[in-house]
Structure 1
Amino acid sequence: MPRLLLPLTRAVTYTRWLHMLVGAIVPFACAMVYPGLVHPSPYDWLLIAVLPVPLVLAVAVVPAARRAEGLQARLMLFPGPHAGVGTGEDPGVSALPSASWTDRARTGAWMVLRLEAGLAVALVTDALLTRTLSLAGAAAGEPGLTDRPLHVSTARWVYALLVPVSVLVLLAVVAGAGALMARAARRLLGPSVRERLAELEKRTERLLERNHIARELHDSLGHALTVAVVQAGAARAAADPHFTDRALEAIEETGRAALEDLERVLLVLREEGRPAGSRPGLGEAGRLLESARSSGARVDAEVTGPLEHLPGPVSREAYRMLQEALTNVLRHAGAVEVRVRIAVEDERLRLDVRNPLPAAAAPAGPGAGSGLRGIRERAALLGGEARARQDGGQWLLHVDLPLR
């Protein structure tokens, strides 16, 4: 029984009631013009229900009509702050203007349904409220208030018992009709296929942006921490004040660059829509090479072609790939000889990083393999490819990117 009475205690039941009654304004306004509301016959009520339909369909053609109906449905047909039940969940009703004739047709069907349902609920409300007042008058000893189904000779207490029954029947009808209207609103005013695709694209873009930020942080901070660990270990092993000073200087420079990258990413996360700002490109590869050299690696670099003319996305992503490649060398092979080849030729950018394989494989950590996976993902997004393999006794990373 409490579950049956629960809808009667929710504010949304009464906002739905009001929403349906508002839909009856148009047919009653038209009825005042024709055929009138003075003792209407069943045929008159049929005309009252049918005559406003062409007018409603004409309004539904206006794109803004869908927005207006969607906003009203969101506010009055679904639980929310106004209903006293928290923020509520997404009702699944669009509040965008009609963008196609399919949207207009669905809006027209919704407006006609709202008109007819509103008229029916208004008539039922009027009949049951009238009956309630009649029963209340009979219970008070005033039988002449209006007609009623029981004879005047019936005991007053019987009328008094029937008053709440009439009210409960009315509220049950209202609650049921309101629930049906909410379901109809989801079907007729729900997002169109185009809107669903647009929302899916937005979600995909947000996921791609999150993956991009994760890769940026992984590459930048991973490189900085790897350099710091290698430099600190080398300085402790060398026990040379001069070498220690150079190691601390390299750690400071690498850490400062990582902090700049971190601040840039955090600004993007804090302020939606903020541009990502300047990111290092392949023209600044010298900083990466010097950082690796300062960590003890013997880097042999060869650059051919104009790096300054590379497209921005290609230059920035190639910088991150080179950064991750050098980080992997320091992390897994240590201070070894590294050969880096960067070539711009035939509308392609080719990047090769080659180093000797370590004598013993490093133990796999939580992030094992994520660096190479990130390089492959970056290359694929640009329409290129990245391959990593053993070549004799060496490890080779080859990246091939189109410039267009």
Structure 2
Amino acid sequence: MPRFLRPLTQAVTYTRWLHLLIGSAIALIAAFISPGLSSPSAGDWVLIALQPIPLVAAAALLLPSLRRAEGLQARLMLFAGQHARVPGGEEDPGVSVAPSASWRDRGRTALWAVLRLEAGCAAMLVTVQLLGIALALLGSTSEPGDASGLFVPLPDQNPLNALFVPVPLAVLLAVMVVAGRLMASAARQLLGPSPKERLAALEERTEQLLERNRIARELHDSIGHALTVAVVQAGAARAAADPEFTDRALDAIEETGRAALEDLERVLRVLREDERPASRRPTLADADRLLESARASGAKVDTEVTGPLESVPGPVSREGYRMLQESLTNVLRHSGPVPVRVRIAVGDGVLGMEVLNTLPGGRAPTGRGGSGLRGIRERATLLGGRATTGPREGEWQVHVELPLG
């Protein structure tokens, strides 16, 4: 199908024209009162179009909800929805459906209301004239044409006049397509979101992205730790060929897997917006579970805790648990069951945490680490602290400082 004919097959072309015609309703109602619609002259048509302007402008300025009504109509009739099967029909049309929140919004709504009124009057007049011309041409094939009420003269009676009937209809269709697109563009300009609404939408989008990023880190730390422990334990049990060690390895895999399933269920409840209370997120008070899991995997973990962990604020304690979890996961994944020293200190308004492990062969891995170490640094930054990771004198160090305030 030729590209210029494609709009004629789309429903949105005709809903846009209907939207324009509806805009002239107030003018027609007022015209019944004055000057009337019986044989109106050109001056009467001008009066019909101009006299409702103060009414619609005042309504837009005094009624904030009118912006919502106009926005809903524009979204429904000026833009193709998902059902229309039009390229781009699923995109946001960029038209607000919120009431006017400022006088600037009211002024833009008033301009839109006046534009819709005048465009509607023009659309009604063009429709009546072009359809009238087509009918008059068709009638003039067998009898003298009646040009009363039309702004253009008609040719004399002639059977060949029927050949010209499609011309005004084609012009009407072309006007419908062009006018509809212009009104849709005007709607985006005059009914589009205000700067305040755009800022609110941007903040909401930012919150959603931050939440997704947090959930991704949660899953990475929890599931990654469980899988790492399971792989290390299974490999160690196969190498040891000791039934007693195998039983301990299976116990560790079961406990770690159960904790990961609890974390996964909690995250899924958040994603589904489940009203049931989610399970409690682990804190540094639950760090023994991580340390025992690492020990069960063969690592020799030396732990030193100073200061009251229960005094650490909830958000800091929960994020600290995840950082410790990722640090131990990193040790098991890249270095295996090597000696590990864990130091946790609470004091002077700061939570300090350090994880040191021996590097196999004394060689440090290249680069700044994967997403896990990057997640540790991101968590620390979001809490106003700092985290450093890297080799130090033949060991790998993860050092974290978080403010307790």
How does the TM-score come out when normalised to structure 1? 0.91
Q: Are 2:159 and 1:156 equivalent residues in the alignment?
A: yes
> Does the Cα contact within 8 Å between 2:364 and 2:391 map onto a contact in 1?
no
> Displacement of 1:39 after TM fit?
4.3
Q: Could you say what secondary structure the match of 1:55 adopts?
A: helix
Paired residues in the alignment total: 401
Distance 1:395 1:50, change over 3 A: same
Q: Are 2:207 and 1:213 equivalent residues in the alignment?
A: no
Please give the alpha-carbon distance, in whole angstroms, between the structure 2 residues aligned to 1:78 and 1:273.
Answer: 36
> Does the Cα contact within 8 Å between 2:145 and 2:155 map onto a contact in 1?
no
Aligned mate of 1:348, from 332, 350, 353: 350
> Displacement of 1:331 after TM fit?
2.0
1:256 matched residue in structure 2: 258
AA in 2 matched with 1:278: R
Q: CA RMSD of the aligned region, Å?
A: 2.5
2:321 matched residue in structure 1: 319
AA in 2 matched with 1:391: R
AA in 1 matched with 2:50: V
Q: Could you say what secondary structure the match of 1:344 adopts?
A: strand
Deviations 1:136-182 (A, max 9, x none): 21124364585773453x4212x211211121122222222111111
Deviations 1:217-256 (A, max 9, x none): 1111221122122222222232222122111111111111
Deviates further, 137-146 or 116-125: 137-146
> Displacement of 1:362 after TM fit?
8.0
2:60 matched residue in structure 1: 60
1:35 matched residue in structure 2: 35
1:11 matched residue in structure 2: 11
Q: Are 2:394 and 1:393 equivalent residues in the alignment?
A: yes
Distance 1:85 1:275, change over 3 A: farther
Aligned mate of 1:183, from 182, 185, 198: 185
2:21 matched residue in structure 1: 21
Alignment of 1:372-383 (within 5 A): 372-383=373-384
Distance 1:304 1:47, change over 3 A: same
> Displacement of 1:312 after TM fit?
1.4
> Does the Cα contact within 8 Å between 2:112 and 2:190 map onto a contact in 1?
yes
> Displacement of 1:36 after TM fit?
3.2
Deviations 1:326-357 (A, max 9, x none): 11122222222222111111121111112222
Please give the alpha-carbon distance, in whole angstroms, between the structure 1 residues aligned to 2:275 and 2:132.
Answer: 58
1:171 matched residue in structure 2: 173
> Does the Cα contact within 8 Å between 1:27 and 1:115 map onto a contact in 2?
yes
> Displacement of 1:267 after TM fit?
2.9
Please give the alpha-carbon distance, in whole angstroms, between the structure 1 residues aligned to 2:378 and 2:129.
Answer: 68
Please give the alpha-carbon distance, in whole angstroms, between the structure 1 residues aligned to 2:101 and 2:184.
Answer: 23
> Does the Cα contact within 8 Å between 1:64 and 1:98 map onto a contact in 2?
yes
AA in 2 matched with 1:204: T
> Does the Cα contact within 8 Å between 1:268 and 1:275 map onto a contact in 2?
no
> Does the Cα contact within 8 Å between 1:332 and 1:361 map onto a contact in 2?
no
> Displacement of 1:85 after TM fit?
4.2
2:237 matched residue in structure 1: 235
AA in 2 matched with 1:27: A
> Does the Cα contact within 8 Å between 1:128 and 1:167 map onto a contact in 2?
yes
> Does the Cα contact within 8 Å between 1:295 and 1:335 map onto a contact in 2?
yes
AA in 2 matched with 1:65: L
> Displacement of 1:84 after TM fit?
5.9
Distance 1:199 1:277, change over 3 A: farther
Aligned mate of 1:278, from 277, 280, 305: 280
Q: Are 2:74 and 1:73 equivalent residues in the alignment?
A: yes
Please give the alpha-carbon distance, in whole angstroms, between the structure 2 residues aligned to 1:138 and 1:60.
Answer: 46
Q: Could you say what secondary structure the match of 2:340 adopts?
A: strand
AA in 1 matched with 2:159: R
> Does the Cα contact within 8 Å between 1:106 and 1:188 map onto a contact in 2?
yes
How does the TM-score come out when normalised to structure 2? 0.91
Q: Could you say what secondary structure the match of 1:296 adopts?
A: coil
1:118 matched residue in structure 2: 120
Distance 1:273 1:60, change over 3 A: farther
Aligned mate of 2:330, from 328, 331, 352: 328
Please give the alpha-carbon distance, in whole angstroms, between the structure 1 residues aligned to 2:380 and 2:84.
Answer: 51
Distance 1:144 1:390, change over 3 A: closer
Please give the alpha-carbon distance, in whole angstroms, between the structure 2 residues aligned to 1:274 and 1:380.
Answer: 31
> Displacement of 1:215 after TM fit?
1.1
> Does the Cα contact within 8 Å between 1:94 and 1:189 map onto a contact in 2?
yes
Deviations 1:55-93 (A, max 9, x none): 111111222111111111111112235646485432221
AA in 2 matched with 1:21: L
Distance 1:332 1:107, change over 3 A: same
Q: Could you say what secondary structure the match of 1:139 adopts?
A: coil
Alignment of 1:77-116 (within 5 A): 77-80=78-81, 83=84, 85=86, 88-116=90-118
> Displacement of 1:124 after TM fit?
1.4
Please give the alpha-carbon distance, in whole angstroms, between the structure 1 residues aligned to 2:113 and 2:270.
Answer: 43
Q: Could you say what secondary structure the match of 1:359 adopts?
A: helix
- Percent of paired sites with the same residue: 66
Please give the alpha-carbon distance, in whole angstroms, between the structure 2 residues aligned to 1:317 and 1:247.
Answer: 27
Structure 2 gaps of 5+ residues are: none
Please give the alpha-carbon distance, in whole angstroms, between the structure 2 residues aligned to 1:6 and 1:221.
Answer: 51
Please give the alpha-carbon distance, in whole angstroms, between the structure 2 residues aligned to 1:125 and 1:300.
Answer: 87
Please give the alpha-carbon distance, in whole angstroms, between the structure 1 residues aligned to 2:235 and 2:208.
Answer: 40
